[in-house]
Chains A and B, each alone.
Chain A
Amino acid sequence: MHFRAFLLSALRSVTSGERRYHLWMGSLTAIMLIGAYGYSVQVSHGLGVTGMSDHVSWGLYISNFAFLVGVAAAAVILVQPAYVLKDVDFGRAVLIAEGVAVSALVMCLAFVMANSPGTPTKWWRLTPVIGLLNWPSSMLAWDVIMLNGYLVLNIVIPFYILYSHFTGREPERKKYVPFIYVSVVWAVSIHLVTAFLFAGLPARPFWNSALLGPRFLASAFTAGPAFMILLLGFIRSQTTYDISEKAIAKLATATTVAAQVNIVMLISELFFKFYSPTKHNINARYLFLGVDEHHALVPWIWTGIALNTVATIGLMIHPLRRNLRWLMVACAMLFVGIWIEKGVGLVIPGFIPTPLGEIVEYTPTWVEVTVTAGIWALGLFVLTVLVRVALPIELGQSRSPYIAGALDAPVVRPRTTRTYPKDVRPVRTR
């Protein structure tokens, strides 16, 4: 009874909205369709239609995968304070963070699928009973378990809380808090395991470093909260969902610290690779300086470093960080900067040159670009749906009609999440 009402109400929240909401979802759908076309070309012709080769055997897909696992893991930055440390400021933001984690994980799985088009049908081979999961020796097997487990945790916990609110009950702490503890450890683990996937390969000295795991975490805890600030800032300006200024300020502090640590690690990496250059550092030379006439990644990595440095310095200046507009700009810069650093600058140079010293450069083809754009659109689509369902429930506007005494109250608020016209919105002070 309640559940049916929940689904119906969710469907209503998702399908109704203003014109620009439909426009947004429509554009995302269009991009997804273009991506689906690219994917269909890839499935029928094989990965030969991508820019990857025996020399550079992973490309844009695994790059985005590595980046997005970090975004997913970063939900822990809000989950831990909100649930474990009982920080009231993060109470409302935490559901949004879990929504970001879910959509990032959906993108991760989609990128893994795109990376080997045989996987959707061959995935049964990864199931322990009917297939053969090479656990514990394969880091990829670990990653399969970690990602799917994290996805389940991040669906089940928020669902329980939302559903309880929807049916007019207070969620029982003893029922969900144990899972929160698991998810906190799990979040750090998914990203460490993903880093170990690369770091555990002596064949690739560029990745084979003890710093890789911590650096993954530092960059994840920069890019993830940066994205969260952008999203929360947007929600705050567009809805009545009250995300406290304190919550955003705390997130901004966390982002700043993580960005600083990330830069320290970059410096450490650069020192290590260039102070005493050995043959093992030729990949880093290719990335940062170029080798002979090969330097496709050089402009990318320096753009990424510039974005990260400028944004981090900006965040360290208090008046700038406390200004929401500048904060959003800095966060956007960090998000893009980390994407370049970790996406373009981590996976691809690991292959150039090859372990036998041959240099073949990599440029993605239109197929990879459309599939990648399609998967990002899919992630944003999922995120929009999740936020769209969660907000009316958390605002108390969406309640089950079967709650005793609730029958005469309006069940779902009509059409839009905005309750009053723009001009009479309460003035915020900062």
Chain B
Amino acid sequence: MSADLFQSPPNGDDDGTVLQKRVDRRRALGILIGGMAAGTQAVSACSPLSAATDEERELKHLEWQEFIQKHYRRMTEAERAETVVRIERLAKLRLGVNVTIDTTGAQPGVLFGYAFNISKCRGYRSCIEACINENNLDRAADTQYIRIFEMKDGPVDLDAATATYEHEVPAAGHFYFGTQCFQCANPPCVPVCPVGATWQEPDGIVVIDYNWCVGCRMCMSACPYWARRFNWSVPEVPAEVVNPNQHYLGNRARRKGVVEKCTFCIHRTRHGRLPACAEACPTGARVFGNLLDPNSEIRWILANKRIFRLKEDLETEPRFWYFSD
């Protein structure tokens, strides 16, 4: 099981020796500065005015470790295990919640795809609610990955649509059109990142290492589908509603000043489950599956329905199709 959990990092890490050298130098720096920080902490601990408890000191130490941690893709399996323990402990210290951090990698022979039936969606937004709960989205800022646009019957016209409707649905003469991160095969958000904090996994999911993101928001400007969200303030997720089943690249706690986005519920789908939005949809408008499985429902839809994608002219190749009955 544990061997399963810590799969070797995906492509690009075969120059391990070079990376190892870099790591050593950086580690040495980390230990050096960390030692200095520990020294100052020791001094402040001796001072009678210091009210720091053991837990506060541990929190400070872990936050420092988190600050100097490596890029996720450059971590060895041991380092990933260490990081997981640290994140779990941090969740306990900060919120008093026991969470488990999953690092399951992409499964062989899997490429995720999504299809959205615009003739079935009735605008209930159950998917949005499920997404918020599942992905530990910031309740204070009301962050949402999914948008459901209400459009007048006729052409798909986003400019004339509204996503902020507040009335009973479905409204007569209207249809509903959902968007979220499309996990494009050619994602424009990935190459623009100055620090390589976002990338595409072999199963097609575009992910972010929240601990590596510097918060420049270049990727937000690059996304043609407005799929990325920023933590403008400290995200607030009350302890009692935290979803404890978390993935490092998915729904784990974010800090302020980093970008996040839909990951097709990476913590569920990599274990063969549906994304929360697809499971929550009461109308069956959402079809999710493995594009490499010829017997999957999504393959049947792609083969038998009239399908289209948003802004095909940009050649982003979304793995998210629209169809109607």
Contact call B214/A201, Cβ cutoff below 8 A: no
Contact call B220/A57, Cβ cutoff below 8 A: yes
- List B residues 129-169 near A (Cβ within 8 Å): 141, 143, 147, 149, 158-161, 163
Contact call A134/B226, Cβ cutoff below 8 A: no
Contact call A203/B257, Cβ cutoff below 8 A: no
Is residue B191 within 8 Å, beta carbon to beta carbon, of the partner chain?
yes
**B23: nearest residue on chain A (CB-CB)?**
A130
- Please pick, from B71, B147, B229, B230, the residue contacting A356 in the complex, using a CB distance under 8 A: B147
Contact residues in A for B229 (Cβ distance below 8 Å) = 54
- Please pick, from B29, B147, B179, B232, the residue contacting A53 in the complex, using a CB distance under 8 A: B232
- Please pick, from A45, A54, A137, the residue contacting B233 in the complex, using a CB distance under 8 A: A45
Contact call B159/A133, Cβ cutoff below 8 A: no
Mark contacts of B18-57 with chain A using CB atoms, 8 A cut-off: 1 yes-contact digit, 0 otherwise: 0000100110010000000000000000000000000000
Is residue A52 within 8 Å, beta carbon to beta carbon, of the partner chain?
yes
- Report A336 CB to chain B, min CB distance, Å: 26
Contact call A355/B218, Cβ cutoff below 8 A: no
Is residue B9 within 8 Å, beta carbon to beta carbon, of the partner chain?
no
Contact call A134/B214, Cβ cutoff below 8 A: no
Is residue B217 within 8 Å, beta carbon to beta carbon, of the partner chain?
yes
Is residue B300 within 8 Å, beta carbon to beta carbon, of the partner chain?
no
**A52: nearest residue on chain B (CB-CB)?**
B232
Mark contacts of A131-163 with chain B using CB atoms, 8 A cut-off: 1 yes-contact digit, 0 otherwise: 111100111110010000000000000000000
Contact call A357/B217, Cβ cutoff below 8 A: no
Contact call B147/A201, Cβ cutoff below 8 A: no
- List A residues 27-67 near B (Cβ within 8 Å): 45-50, 52-55, 57-58
Q: Which of A119-127, A172-180, A406-414 contacts B (4 or more CB under 8 A)?
A: A119-127
- Please pick, from A112, A122, A138, A203, the residue contacting B224 in the complex, using a CB distance under 8 A: A203
Is residue B193 within 8 Å, beta carbon to beta carbon, of the partner chain?
yes
- List B residues 204-236 near A (Cβ within 8 Å): 212, 214-218, 220-226, 228-234
- Report B309 CB to chain A, min CB distance, Å: 14
Mark contacts of A277-292 with chain B using CB atoms, 8 A cut-off: 1 yes-contact digit, 0 otherwise: 0010010000000000
Contact residues in A for B224 (Cβ distance below 8 Å) = 202-203, 355
Dominant secondary structure of chain A at its interface with chain B: loop
CA distance A204 to B221 in the complex (A): 7
- Report B75 CB to chain A, min CB distance, Å: 12
Is residue A129 within 8 Å, beta carbon to beta carbon, of the partner chain?
yes
CA distance A162 to B232 in the complex (A): 45
**B199: nearest residue on chain A (CB-CB)?**
A134
Is residue B192 within 8 Å, beta carbon to beta carbon, of the partner chain?
yes
Contact call B222/A201, Cβ cutoff below 8 A: yes
Contact residues in B for A357 (Cβ distance below 8 Å) = 158-161
Candidate in B67, B179, B192 with the most chain A CB atoms within 10 angstroms: B192
Contact call A355/B214, Cβ cutoff below 8 A: no
Contact residues in B for A213 (Cβ distance below 8 Å) = none
CB-based A-B contact count at 8 angstroms? 140
Contact call A138/B217, Cβ cutoff below 8 A: no
Contact call B194/A133, Cβ cutoff below 8 A: yes
Contact residues in A for B74 (Cβ distance below 8 Å) = 132
**A129: nearest residue on chain B (CB-CB)?**
B22
Contact residues in A for B314 (Cβ distance below 8 Å) = 202-203
Contact residues in B for A53 (Cβ distance below 8 Å) = 232
- List A residues 189-228 near B (Cβ within 8 Å): 197-198, 200-204
**B311: nearest residue on chain A (CB-CB)?**
A355
**B221: nearest residue on chain A (CB-CB)?**
A201
Mark contacts of A350-364 with chain B using CB atoms, 8 A cut-off: 1 yes-contact digit, 0 otherwise: 110111111000000
Contact A48-B222, Cβ < 8 Å, known A118-B257, A138-B191, A140-B216 = no
Is residue A81 within 8 Å, beta carbon to beta carbon, of the partner chain?
no
- Please pick, from A48, A115, A117, A144, the residue contacting B194 in the complex, using a CB distance under 8 A: A144
- List B residues 153-201 near A (Cβ within 8 Å): 158-161, 163, 179, 188, 191-196
**B159: nearest residue on chain A (CB-CB)?**
A357
Contact A356-B225, Cβ < 8 Å, known A119-B215, A126-B214 = yes
Contact residues in A for B94 (Cβ distance below 8 Å) = none
- Report A63 CB to chain B, min CB distance, Å: 13
Contact call B217/A58, Cβ cutoff below 8 A: yes
Contact call B194/A141, Cβ cutoff below 8 A: yes
Contact residues in A for B231 (Cβ distance below 8 Å) = 46
Contact call B67/A121, Cβ cutoff below 8 A: yes
Contact residues in A for B226 (Cβ distance below 8 Å) = 54-55, 354-356, 358
Contact call B256/A46, Cβ cutoff below 8 A: yes
Contact residues in B for A244 (Cβ distance below 8 Å) = none
**B310: nearest residue on chain A (CB-CB)?**
A356
- Please pick, from B26, B225, B257, the residue contacting A130 in the complex, using a CB distance under 8 A: B26
**B231: nearest residue on chain A (CB-CB)?**
A46
Contact call B159/A279, Cβ cutoff below 8 A: yes
**A282: nearest residue on chain B (CB-CB)?**
B159
CA distance A279 to B155 in the complex (A): 14
CA distance A42 to B23 in the complex (A): 33
CA distance A359 to B192 in the complex (A): 25
**A135: nearest residue on chain B (CB-CB)?**
B194
**A121: nearest residue on chain B (CB-CB)?**
B67
Contact residues in A for B232 (Cβ distance below 8 Å) = 46-48, 50, 52-54
- List A residues 268-317 near B (Cβ within 8 Å): 279, 282
**B212: nearest residue on chain A (CB-CB)?**
A125
Is residue A384 within 8 Å, beta carbon to beta carbon, of the partner chain?
no
Contact call B191/A137, Cβ cutoff below 8 A: yes
**A353: nearest residue on chain B (CB-CB)?**
B159
Contact call B25/A125, Cβ cutoff below 8 A: no
Contact residues in B for A137 (Cβ distance below 8 Å) = 191-192
- Report A193 CB to chain B, min CB distance, Å: 12
- Report A159 CB to chain B, min CB distance, Å: 29
CA distance A353 to B216 in the complex (A): 20
Is residue A164 within 8 Å, beta carbon to beta carbon, of the partner chain?
no
**B189: nearest residue on chain A (CB-CB)?**
A203
- Please pick, from A55, A116, A133, A351, the residue contacting B257 in the complex, using a CB distance under 8 A: A116
- Report B180 CB to chain A, min CB distance, Å: 11
Can you list 11 A-B pairs with a CB-CB distance of less than 8 A? Answer: A45-B233, A52-B232, A54-B143, A57-B217, A132-B71, A139-B192, A198-B221, A279-B159, A355-B226, A356-B149, A356-B163
Other A-B pairs beyond A46-B257, A112-B216, 14, CB < 8 Å? A53-B232, A57-B220, A115-B217, A118-B215, A129-B22, A129-B25, A137-B192, A138-B191, A138-B192, A140-B193, A202-B314, A203-B223, A203-B314, A356-B226
The 6 A-B residue pairs with the shortest CB-CB distance in the complex, in nearest-first order: A48-B233, A203-B224, A116-B215, A140-B194, A48-B232, A357-B159
